[in-house]
Amino acid sequence: MLDAVLTRIDAGFPASLDRLLDLLRIPSISTDPAYRAECRRAAEWLVGELAAIGFDAAVRDTPGHPMVVAHWTKAGPDAPHVLFYAHYDVQPVDPVDLWTSPPFEPVVAEGPNGRERITARGASDDKGQLMTFVEACRAYVETTGGLPINVTILSEGEEESGSPSLVPFLEANKAELARDVALVCDTGMWDEDTPAVTTMLRGLVGEEVTITCADQDLHSGMYGGAAPNPIHVLARILAGLHDDAGRVTLDGFYDGVPELDPAVRANWDGLGFDGAAFLGAVGLSAPAGETDRTVLEKLWSRPTAEVNGITGGYTGNGFKTVLPSKASAKVSFRLVGDQDPDAIRASFRAYVEAALPPAAKVSFEPHGGSPGIRLSVDNPALAASLGALSDEWGRPTAITGSGGSIPVVGYFKDILGMDSVMAGFALDDDRIHSPNEKYDVRSYHKGIRSWARILAALAR
Amino acid sequence: MLDAVLTRIDAGFPASLDRLLDLLRIPSISTDPAYRAECRRAAEWLVGELAAIGFDAAVRDTPGHPMVVAHWTKAGPDAPHVLFYAHYDVQPVDPVDLWTSPPFEPVVAEGPNGRERITARGASDDKGQLMTFVEACRAYVETTGGLPINVTILSEGEEESGSPSLVPFLEANKAELARDVALVCDTGMWDEDTPAVTTMLRGLVGEEVTITCADQDLHSGMYGGAAPNPIHVLARILAGLHDDAGRVTLDGFYDGVPELDPAVRANWDGLGFDGAAFLGAVGLSAPAGETDRTVLEKLWSRPTAEVNGITGGYTGNGFKTVLPSKASAKVSFRLVGDQDPDAIRASFRAYVEAALPPAAKVSFEPHGGSPGIRLSVDNPALAASLGALSDEWGRPTAITGSGGSIPVVGYFKDILGMDSVMAGFALDDDRIHSPNEKYDVRSYHKGIRSWARILAALAR
């Protein structure tokens, strides 16, 4: 039966491509109020397509851009029920003069690498990915009369503008949206031939620390040598965050940090990742961080302490011999496993307080906190997805981490109590958020086939 | 005759004050290229005033901001000939929102201590001090028809930006500028009632250090933990500049640092200086620096390493998880005795280079360098000045050191072979280089009277 679905996907691919191009022509830029009506138009277009397939689909208003929610429950009460998530909004297009074709007039043409590509804003992030799932459902329904499992589709229009309506919407619709597992399609392939499922996302704790010494800026000639300098105090504090082996020194920092599962480590070892080349591409001749960890571990499975900004004293042109009153830094911690954001924040604050010399004072401003996310390798939906993807692409699926966060996955876990399988078909060269964003025709075609296989596997 | 001059000073004081306010309205910020024309305007204003008094005055171009040079030689070839120095440029004004009145709209009003004060950038450093001498000359000429000695006035417009044009100018004009002794007016009173002549100045080496890691800003989620962070590198370098006893760690840093002469130590002990109160007045409950030195030693006779500014990464509102490409700091060293500025700079650079991790690069930008200065107590102009100041203020003149550097005094010694008497009327609470800089009206008035007395004393 799956074979028939795949055959139908291949035969209907030109029409699937046309439908994606229709969606790409709608400039649903969520962050720019001028495109508010376009965002709604994209939502309505999507509802129309889903209703045509047979979903019970609706545009759902929020204080911001609307959600699209669509249900397929004809697989019966005993069948699995998944929640699929992708977003229909896109990034702005500036600088528009760097585009080789208008961003909302999609072009399908051969790229420099000899592969057909779809060039348009949103082709890869995230309309192309969204439509891989929609078209897989269409082919399944058209071939077999239905879907092999129950499916709810949630598509938001604010992912590129901070998702202000998402948490309230999830909280208001828990019973409707909490399903067995989420399928989140906003990530990429490991490389152009190797599919990937992302199972690890680092969390984030942000903290701004301000050191104050004198109650006013001082002249370093008049006071220097006797008056404490908050830049010195801050430098000592920041320098002390890591030891010589690159480990973070905060008390209890590594509590809840798991060692890598041997199966995952084996999978990573098989990826052939070249850490030196990865860093060399941005001009770095050597890594930083824990000396006993690989670059991939540092990026995906190890926690960090990072200073994202620092300022104090005179920073303009020339020189000013000021001894400043204040100095401040923005510090972030990437979290993994069961590290507790509140405990990390508290430990950092305690460390700073303890490091203060007598004449210095400190204040803190919190900037968000979320734990890391890890999908257990035992999750049956993960196993089904890995197998289905390997079948489609003809090679083992990579089990990857991501150093950045995907907030929706955290919300699904916290609010809906639901794990997420993160799979997608974007490539590193898709130029998402940049001019000339593209999605390979192959990503789109095999992405549709991949979801058909995953739907079939989840039914087993 | 001196009494008549002093009477004239008192009678003409409102007009003297108006002239100072005119000068304070010119925003002659030398370190910011945007104010280039304003610096020239200040120089031209000063030449106009000096010419009106009877000086042979001219704006003299340099590659930077112009010099003002004015000669009075009508006292005849046998009279003493002094060189008076003060600067007409001022510090930047940021943070401008901390000013209670616009920095270049001077306000004369009673301060919290019940004394009239002039609030404006440059009121104390150094336009008010400059004008004490100009107005003393004016009163002398208006009262007696001339000055009692020959006087050359040199005023530069680059003192707050490292004086790049000063050395070449002195070297090119040695014969014109090398006089019996220099009178340098850029220092302060011992306290509000006790005049002071400064005989010891710390030197200064300024150095800007920039650390570069990646060749572009990176996303801390994607690269954090593996990519070196230049803020971390910089923090470690700056933290390592001092040991736990507050001593500077650079190789050879204390070469040429003399122990205090016992007689000078006794003099300082007699000043009744309260280090805890000095620091407490600016909100500091404890000192920094060398743990085995008094506060006065730290300020006047000990060298320092100080970070005057630091910047890197995102420093705006909110939070941005950037892993920056660069971070930089402005570092200064106060020098004493025979410490060699070039050797200190070289030692700092060697320390930084040695501390760099493999993937980091460094660049340096020098910002001036001058050695410490000590004036011989045998100088007859010093004795005359001490007596004149004691007469005006009614108590013995303190012989002090100063933690700040006045490089011009070193240049006068090295290039023109001339000692300097450093006298001035600034007070510790003048907030120079800070928001709400002020100069007491009393400092200005009695400063003018003091210079009239010194001119008379030098003629004897």
pLDDT tens string A375-401:
888 899 999 999 999 999 999 999 999
Q: How far is B271 from chain A (nearest CA, A)?
A: 17
Q: Which residues share a beta bridge with A194?
A: A191
Q: Is the pLDDT of residue A446 over 80?
A: yes
Say if residue B188's pLDDT is above 70.
yes
The pair of three-digit structure tokens given for residue A62, joined into one six-digit string: 């929020």
Q: What is the pLDDT of residues B287-329, one digit of tens each?
A: 999 999 999 999 988 999 999 999 999 998 888 888 999 999 9
The answer to whether B357 contacts chain A (CB < 8 Å) is yes
User: Averaged over A114-130, what is the pLDDT?
Assistant: 97
Query: Which candidate in B330, B352, B364, B373 is best for mutational testing of the A interface (most A CBs within 10 A)?
Result: B330
Q: What's the CATH number of domain B2-201+373-459, 3.40.630.30, 3.40.1550.20, 3.40.630.10, 3.30.360.10?
A: 3.40.630.10
pLDDT at A94 over 80: yes
Q: Does the structure show a pLDDT above 80 at A253?
A: yes
* Residue B208 confidence (pLDDT) above 90: yes
Q: Is the pLDDT of residue A251 over 80?
A: yes
Contacts of A330 in chain B (CB under 8 A): 313-315, 319-320
**Mean pLDDT across the stretch A147-170?**
96
Q: Mind telling me how many Å the CA of A257 is from chain B's nearest CA? A: 15
Q: How far is A313 from chain B (nearest CA, A)?
A: 4
The predicted model gives B125-130 an average pLDDT of 98
pLDDT of residue A378: 86
- Picking from B93, B57, B83, B61, the residue whose alpha carbon sits closest to that of residue B157 is B61
Residue A237, amino acid: I
The reported pLDDT for the residue numbered B22 is: 98
Q: Out of B208, B226, B327, name the one closest to residue A299 (CB).
A: B226
For the segment B201-225, the average pLDDT, to the nearest whole number, is 92
CA B308 – CA B50 distance, rounded (Å)? 36
Query: Which pLDDT does position A153 carry in this prediction?
Result: 98
Chain B residues within an 8 Å CB radius of A304: 220, 224-225
Statement: residue A72 has pLDDT above 90: yes
- Nearest chain B residue to A234, by CA: B235
**Dist CA B412 CA B181 (whole Å):** 9
Judged against a pLDDT cut of 70, whether residue B222 lies above it is answered with yes
∠ at Cα B79 (B77, B80), nearest 5°? 115
Q: What pLDDT was estimated at residue B262? A: 78
Name every chain A residue with its beta carbon within 8 A of the beta carbon of B161: 318-319
Report which of A270, A306, A308 is spatially closest to residue A288, judged by C-alpha positions: A306
What are A32's strand-pairing partners?
none
Q: A98: how many CB neighbours lie within 10 A of its CB?
A: 10
pLDDT of residue B271: 83
Range A203-257+303-370 has CATH code 3.30.70.360: yes
The answer, yes or no, to whether residue A259 has pLDDT greater than 80, is yes
For B363-400, write each residue's pLDDT tens digit. Answer: 999 998 888 888 777 788 998 999 999 999 998 888 88
Q: Can you give the pLDDT at residue B407?
A: 80
Q: Which residues of B284-303 are buried (b: 16+ CB within 10 A; e: fewer)?
A: beebbbbeebbbbbbbbbbb
Q: Is the CB of residue B229 less than 8 Å away from at least one CB of chain A?
A: yes
What does the block give as tokens for B76? 């005849």
What is the reported pLDDT for A278?
94
Nearest to A217 among B232, B327, B434 (CB): B434
Per-residue model confidence as pLDDT tens digits over B32-85: 999 999 999 999 999 999 999 999 999 999 999 999 999 999 999 999 999 999
Give pLDDT tens digits for A201-212: 999 999 999 999
pLDDT at B404 over 80: no
* CATH classification code of A2-201+374-459: 3.40.630.10
Q: Rounded CA gap, B82 and B423, in Å? A: 14
A vs B, Cβ pairs < 8 A, gives 321
Give the strand pairing for B107-110 and B116-119. antiparallel
| Residue A402 clears pLDDT 90, i.e. is over it | no
What pLDDT shows up at residue B263?
66
Overall average pLDDT of the A280-300 stretch:
94
pLDDT (tens digit per residue) in B225-269: 999 999 999 999 999 999 999 999 999 999 999 888 776 787 788
CB within 8 Å: B279 and A405? no
Distance from the A69 Cα atom to the nearest Cα atom in chain B, whole angstroms? 30
User: Residue B398: its pLDDT value, please?
Assistant: 87
Distance CA B381, CA A84 (A): 89
Q: What is the pLDDT of residue A405?
A: 74
Residue in B96, B220, B257 to test binding to A, most A beta-carbons within 10 Å: B220
- In the predicted model, what is the mean pLDDT of residues A317-338? 94
Tokens representing B421 are: 């008497």
Region B446-453: mean pLDDT is 98
Across residues B181-197, what is the average pLDDT?
93
Which of A307, A311, A333 is the mutation pick for testing B, counting most B CBs within 10 A? A307
Residue B261: its pLDDT value, please?
Answer: 76
Q: Are A42 and A23 in contact (CB under 8 A)?
A: yes
pLDDT category of residue A288 using cuts at 50, 70 and 90? very high
Average pLDDT, chain A: 95
pLDDT in the model for residue B266: 77
ipTM: 0.85
Q: Is B14 on the interface with A (CB under 8 A)?
A: no
Cis peptide before A262 (omega within 30 of 0): no
Q: The tokens of A451 are what?
A: 């979801």
What tens digit of pLDDT does each residue of A11-56 get?
999 999 999 999 999 999 999 999 999 999 999 999 999 999 999 9
Q: Where are the domains of chain A?
A: 2-201+374-459, 203-257+303-370
The C-alpha of B372 sits at a distance from chain A's nearest C-alpha, in angstroms, of 12
Do residue A317 and residue B367 have CB atoms under 8 angstroms apart? Answer: no
3-state SS record for chain A: CHHHHHHHHHHCHHHHHHHHHHHHCCCCECCCHHHHHHHHHHHHHHHHHHHHHCCEEEEECCCCCCEEEEEECCCCCCCCEEEEEEECCECCCCCHHHCCCCCCCCEEEECCCCCEEEECCCHHHHHHHHHHHHHHHHHHHHHHCCCCCEEEEEEECCHHHCCCCHHHHHHHCHHHHCCCEEEECCCECCECCECEEEEEECEEEEEEEEEECCCCCEEHHHHCCCCCCHHHHHHHHHHCCECCCCCECCCCCCCCCCCCCHHHHHHHHCCCCCHHHHHHCCCCCCCCCCCCCCHHHHHHCCCEEEEEEEEEECCCCCCCCEECCEEEEEEEEEECCCCCHHHHHHHHHHHHHHHCCCCCEEEEEEEEEECCEECCCCCHHHHHHHHHHHHHHCCCCEEEEECCCCHHHHHHHHHHCCCEEEECCECCCCCCCCCCCEEEHHHHHHHHHHHHHHHHHHHC
Best B229, B292, B294 residue to mutate vs chain A (most A CBs within 10 Å): B229
Q: B247 to chain A: nearest residue by CA? A: A225
Rounded Cα distance between B414 and B174, Å, is 11
Gap between the Cα atoms of A329 and A305, Å rounded: 12
Q: How far is A204 from chain B (nearest CA, A)?
A: 9
CB-based contact (8 Å) between B240 and chain A?
yes
As a whole number, mean pLDDT of residues A270-289 equals: 94
